[in-house]
A and B are shown apart, each in its own frame.
Chain A
Amino acid sequence: MDLEKAYDKIYRYTYFKLNDQAVAEDIVQETFLRFMEQRGRFSDYEMRYLYTIARNLCIDEFRRVKPEPLPDDYEQRNFYSGKSTEDIVMVREALSHLSVEDQELLLLRHVNKESVGTISNALGISRFALYRRLKAAENELRMRLEVEKNEE
């Protein structure tokens, strides 16, 4: 995997965590700088370290920034800035019922397409626990989607 793809993945992850483009990008860059400072080179195997650094930096950011009220257009920025077909809106709605941790797992596994090993290392949980949580999150999402469809 090249550096650019890794950048995109970490950016998607930090954006999911922080929901602020500029801050997310700052954190991605800080993540890479710290990683390069320690390791000197980048390989596919080391994605887990990047996720760990990014995750810790996001936590630092949460601690540093005082909570502010959400902007008026938050809903739009968060949910409708991409392609907004009916299906996507429905998935977003279903996702919003899931816990942040479950959303994080779905993002890492199904959007960033990370291996179970990478995710379990980055999140500091066992592979078995990850499988279990991932299955539960997927089932929950399916169930929520069914509910959304039936409501329609």
Chain B
Amino acid sequence: MKNDMEKLLSDAFYAPEPKNKQAFLKNIRPREISTFEMILQQFYYIRFSVWLYVLGLIVVVVTGALLQFEAIRILFTIMMSFTAVITVLETRRSKKFGMSELEMATRYSLKSVVIARMLIVGMVSLAVLFISSPIMAISFQEDVIITTMRTMIPYLVTLFVSLRFERSVLGRSTEYGSLVIGFAVSAAMIFFHTNCREIIIGYIEMVEKWGVFIVVLLIALTVSEQCKTVKNVEEFA
């Protein structure tokens, strides 16, 4: 239908100005929502690039594992380290914009948004880890638990160091400091993988012997670091 006709229709369906619109809209308040609903809502505010990265990671790892590319093992570990960096950057984004999304400001505290974001990205990272590791293990005929732990350790180390760095004075003034940590961890892994095979063999042996203990310790340290981040969140909002 032509524009001029639409204009005429618009005039033909005339309605007088509503009298109480502004007063009503001013007073209308959305109802309280549950924690679960709030977490669910936060899904919409996580950047598209994060989901794209996670999807890319799964595709790369699964394809690599099925085709049995040797390099995929180190690539998986490196990519998981960057998943940890993404978790920290997502938390930082919530803090940086002081609640990040204005429409949320009246409903939740910054603290709850940060926790929700951490929880979502953290759960997604773990989901990726627990989907990809068994595929890797089966493909390369390794123990599933050992493979998972071997990937989890650099991930947790990156997460722990990044969170600690973000709380420091330098971290607060640096925009993408945790990205540097991610690169450093990745570079170290590539270096050891290509130049110091004995260190890698030692690392695999260490994981086989002490893996569970190390993972539990790193989880405890990371959780404690996350708690500190949440606790101090209002200070550097």
Spell out A's residues near B (CB within 8 Å): 3-4, 7-8, 11-12, 15-16, 21, 24-25, 28-29, 32-33, 36-37, 40-42, 81-83, 85, 87-88, 91-92, 95, 106-107, 110-111, 138
Contact = CB atoms under 8 A, between A and B. Distances in A.
B28 interface: yes
Given A11-B21, A40-B37, A88-B11, A21 B30 contact: no
A28 B18 contact: yes
Interface in B1-34: 1, 5-6, 8-16, 18-21, 24-25, 28-33
A143 B4 CA distance: 17
A4 B8 contact: no
Contacts of A110: 1, 5-6, 9-10
A82 B1 contact: no
Contacts of B15: 11-12, 15-16, 21, 24
B227 to A, nearest CB: 29
Interface string B107-132: 00000000000000000000000000
Given A95-B12, A106-B9, A110-B9, A37 B25 contact: no
Residue with the highest number of chain A CB atoms closer than 10 Å, among B8, B28, B41: B8
A91 B9 CA distance: 7
B11 A82 contact: yes
Contacts of A25: 18-21
**Chain A interface secondary structure, helix, strand, loop or mixed?**
helix
Contacts of B31: 36-37, 40
Interface of B: 1, 5-6, 8-16, 18-21, 24-25, 28-33, 37, 41
Nearest to A24: B15
Contacts of A88: 8, 11-12
B146 to A, nearest CB: 45
A21 B13 contact: no
A94 to B, nearest CB: 9
Contacts of A41: 30, 33, 41
Given A24-B15, A25-B18, A36-B29, 19 more contacts: A4-B21, A7-B18, A7-B24, A7-B25, A12-B13, A15-B15, A21-B16, A21-B18, A25-B19, A32-B28, A36-B28, A41-B33, A83-B11, A91-B8, A91-B9, A95-B9, A110-B10, A111-B9, A138-B1
A84 B12 CA distance: 9
A11 B14 contact: no
A85 to B, nearest CB: 8
Contact of A111 (B13, B28, B33): B13
Nearest to B27: A29
A127 B28 CA distance: 33
Contacts of B18: 7-8, 11, 21, 24-25, 28
Nearest to A85: B11
A8 B32 CA distance: 25
A24 B5 CA distance: 26
A91 B157 CA distance: 71
9 contacts: A7-B25, A21-B19, A36-B28, A36-B29, A41-B30, A91-B9, A91-B12, A110-B6, A111-B9
